[in-house]
Amino acid sequence: MTPEDIIKMREELGITQEKFANLLGTSFSTVNRWENGKSKPSRLSIRQLKEIKDNYGSYLCRRKKLKDA
Q: What is the CATH number of the domain that holds 51?
A: 1.10.260.40
Distance CA 69, CA 67 (A): 6
pLDDT beneath 70, residues of the chain: 57-69
pTM of the model as a whole: 0.77
pLDDT at 12: 85
Domain that holds residue 59: 3-68
The number of distinct structural domains making up the chain is: 1
Distance CA 38, CA 53 (A): 22
